[in-house]
Amino acid sequence: SDSVTINVGFNGNFSDQPVTKVFKELEQKCIFVVPTSSYTVPWFPTKISDLDKIRSRCIMGGSETMQSDHPGFHDKDYRQRRDMIADIAKNFRVGDKIKKVQYTEQEKKTWRFIFEKLMQLYPSHPCFEYQLAFPLLVEHCGYRADNIPQLQDVSDLLFEKTGFTLQPVYGLLSNRDFFNALAFRVFCSTQYIRHHGAPDYTPEPDIVHELVGHAPLFTDPDFADFSQEIGLASLGASEEAIEKLARCYWYTVEFGLCRQRGALKAYGAGLLSSFGELQYCLSEKPEVKPFDPNVASKIPYPITNFQPLYFAADSFYKMKRTDETI
């Protein structure tokens, strides 16, 4: 229904006269007023410098956390390279300029392969908002087949357009930590690139996913505000609420579709950075349902294969407004 649940924390006892008075007043205006036992609010950042703590606790990152099925697990050179790039993020502190990565010829070759494949699909597959945003990054941030953009250049453009910034991270953050950073209009981005042996697949976020998939839409003021609202909702939230947010985020910002001028378009970063899944998601193969946050928040999602199910909003704008109800 349209009812809203509000949890109120306070120092005191239910038997105290002032507390009893407040409860009686609330009972006259609310459907239910239920006193509960004490609840410990999870730690959350209260100032932007707290993000240094968040970025230091990746659950995946660097060669030490690679699983045996990772495409680069048996490649010694790739593992060493990942650790070198991870050190940039580990040494970064809020307020620093992001150190540039001097990408190798092999890394540039992997970027070129993916970039050129995606460019063939961009005139037709992404949503209109993405198509408007992407040329800004080409013009100002060096998005080209022969160049891997630098995080600081992209961060500067995002800040100019919407006040969002990028901060380097050496691997995958927990959902809570990732969302908490969004509350400060900060998107945590990796700098390494996927293994050259599997350019069409990465088991964790890489710079292609971050800069090609996510970054362009952060130039859109409405999308930037929407992302921050998700972050604000995550501060001090319960584990159940974080899981609900994560599933809706997955089915929208990561793998969402929308209808524009009668056709399905992609706006999810996981789609816009994967030439294989970008084609697949708009084919007749997967199941596509109308987006409903109450449904999406209950459905687990696979992370190692193409999605068997996508949610399509009636429009990009309506997705943002609907998702705010979660």
Looking at the annotation, which residues are catalytic? Answer: 209, 214, 254, 273
The distance in angstroms from the start CA to the end CA of the chain is 12
Q: How far apart are CA 242 and CA 59, in angstroms?
A: 16
Asked whether 183 and 232 are in contact (CB, 8 A), the reply is: yes
- Classified as helix, coil or strand, 214 is helix
Please, what is the Cα angle at 213 between 199 and 259, to 5 degrees? Answer: 120
User: What are the b/e assignments for 127-151, b being 16+ CB within 10 Å?
Assistant: bebbeebbebbeebbebeeeebbbb
Neighbours of 208 (CB within 10 A): 22
Cα dihedral angle (132, 322, 296, 237), rounded to 10 degrees? 100
Asked whether 127 and 265 are in contact (CB, 8 A), the reply is: yes
- Residue 105 in tokens: 């010829």
Contacts (Cβ under 8 Å, ≥6 apart) of 101:
85, 88, 148, 150, 191
Asked whether 180 and 235 are in contact (CB, 8 A), the reply is: yes
> Strand 309-313 to strand 257-260: parallel, antiparallel, or no bridges (unpaired)?
parallel
Cα dihedral angle (202, 208, 212, 214), rounded to 10 degrees? 60
Type and span of the H or E element at 225: helix 221-234
